């Protein structure tokens, strides 16, 4: 079954973003054990750990806010299911993909908190993979479903931030 059969039906058959998120976190910790990279000690390490905790909390707030906004609009949060409504309010006024922004932030935040450089390196890789495997297909789905309304929204709001 092809992921690109009918963009109006649904963007994907596989929910790529959560798979990528968990996969890159697991890969980062595995690489951290197999090939540990240096991490600052003392005050700098403590500051980075604190920054990591802040980024994790911010990412979770963005996630919950976006999910609540989507639930209020009565549309799915599942990236492989058909969107019933175009959500353009709330946090979606600032990013067309706040959950994916939060996913990248979460990987980086965990990397900072755990002192794992591999996670910091994998965070942008997650963003690129999410764009290719999910966002581009979701954009085609939204354009097929909502036409000019989506195109106008896309002109006003950035894909990421």
CA distances from 139 to 77, 98, 124 (A): 15, 14, 20
Q: Are 74 and 137 in contact (CB under 8 A)?
A: no
pLDDT given at position 97: 97
Q: Are 59 and 105 in contact (CB under 8 A)?
A: yes
Q: Which long-range contacts (CB under 8 A, 24 or more apart) does 47-53 make?
A: 48/112, 48/115, 49/112, 49/113, 49/115, 51/112, 52/108, 52/109, 52/110, 52/111, 52/112, 52/113, 52/114, 53/109, 53/113
Interior/surface letters 87-111, b for 16+ CB within 10 angstroms, e for the rest: bbeebbeebbbbbbbbbbbbbbbbb
pTM: 0.90
Each of the 161 residues of the chain gets a pLDDT tens digit; together they read 444 455 556 667 788 899 999 999 999 999 999 999 999 999 999 999 999 999 999 999 999 999 999 999 999 888 888 888 999 999 999 999 999 999 999 999 999 999 999 999 999 999 999 999 999 999 999 999 999 999 999 999 999 98
pLDDT value of position 3: 46
Helix (H, G, I), strand (E, B) or coil at 81: coil
């Amino acid at each position: 079954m092809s992921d690109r059969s009918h963009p109006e039906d649904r963007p994907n058959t596989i929910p790529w973003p959560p798979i990528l998120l968990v996969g890159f976190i697991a890969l980062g910790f595995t690489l951290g054990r197999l090939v540990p990279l240096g991490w600052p000690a003392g005050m700098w390490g403590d500051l980075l750990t604190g920054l990591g905790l802040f980024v994790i909390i911010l990412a979770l707030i963005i996630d919950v806010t976006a999910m609540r906004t989507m639930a209020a609009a009565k549309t799915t949060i599942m990236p492989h299911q058909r969107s019933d409504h175009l959500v353009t309010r709330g946090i979606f006024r600032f990013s067309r993909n706040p959950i994916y922004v939060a996913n990248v932030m979460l990987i980086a935040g965990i990397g900072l908190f755990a002192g794992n450089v591999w996670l910091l390196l994998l965070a942008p890789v997650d963003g690129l993979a999410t764009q290719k495997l999910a966002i581009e297909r979701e954009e085609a789905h939204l354009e097929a479903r909502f036409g000019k309304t989506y195109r106008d929204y896309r002109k006003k709001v950035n894909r990421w931030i």
